Amino acid sequence: MDEIVRAALKKWPNVPACYGWLALDARGDWYMRDDRIQAAGPFPAVKGSRIEHAKLRAFIERNYAADDTGCWFFQNGPQRVYVELEAAPWVWRVRACGNTVQVHDHCGAAATPGESWLDEQGRLFLATDRGLGIVHTQDMLDAANAIEAGRWAPRQADFAELPQRFGFRLSPRMDRMRT
């Protein structure tokens, strides 16, 4: 977390959290979802405006974390902005490098893969030392090669079961509205 964010939290500790305004899709893209977009429908059916500003993306990614209930958020100064997730909290980028496979998250940090799953839509998920994520669609060739080489042996999983199994929430806002 950025030092400026830590300082803002100390200065203003009781700023209310924000729900529904930020989302992460299955390709690692961030989306702003203003009131009009939220009224038009839920994420990911209605995505909103893709954040393309490199420095803003980097700021979000440096301050992206999860709370104790498995809800992911971006700490924007003193305000916690909860994130709607399309598939998982991480989007894995996979690169074959000789006899090894490198895995990095959508924020650029390396991860060590363990188990793997294929859901009913044929999407590949990897459980890593950093948590569960979906493999980016552009990296499926390298991922398929890793499977064929025996590095990963995906099991079948129902997508609806993955959040509970791995302790994350796709929609903190919807969960909050149910309580």
Picking from 40-54, 114-128, 160-174, which range would have the lowest pLDDT averaged per residue? 160-174
Q: How far apart are CA 70 and CA 170, in angstroms?
A: 9
CATH topology of domain 3-86+168-178: duf1285 like fold (3.10.540)
Domain boundaries of the chain, sorted by first residue: 3-86+168-178, 90-165
Residue 115 binned pLDDT confidence (cut-offs 50, 70, 90): very high
Mean pLDDT (the chain) is 92
Please give the pLDDT value at position 5. 65
- pLDDT score recorded for residue 26: 98
Helix (H) or strand (E) holding 156: strand 155-156
3-state secondary structure of 159: helix
Q: Name the band, by pLDDT with cuts 50, 70 and 90, for residue 177.
A: very low
Residue 11: what pLDDT? 64
Residue whose token pair is 């993955």: 162
Structure tokens at 41: 């429908």
pLDDT, tens digit, 9 for 90 and up, residues 84-96: 999 999 999 999 8
pLDDT of residue 25: 98
What pLDDT shows up at residue 98?
80
Please indicate, yes or no, whether the overall pTM of this predicted structure exceeds 0.85. yes
pLDDT band at 178 (very low <50, low <70, confident <90, very high): very low
- Residue-wise pLDDT for 11-34, tens only, equals 666 778 999 999 999 999 999 999
Q: Is 169 within 8 Å of 16 (Cβ atoms)?
A: no
Q: Is the pLDDT of residue 1 over 80?
A: no
| CA gyration radius, the chain | 17
CA distance 91 to 123: 12
Average pLDDT over residues 116-134: 97
Note whether 28 and 91 are within 8 A (CB): yes
Instruction: Output the six-digit token pair for 29.
Output: 């893209």
Instruction: Detail the DSSP E strand segments found in 1-136.
Output: 18-24, 30-32, 49-50, 64-66, 72-76, 79-85, 90-97, 100-104, 110-111, 113-118, 124-128, 131-135
Q: What is the pLDDT of residue 8?
A: 65
Cβ–Cβ < 8 Å for 68, 109: no
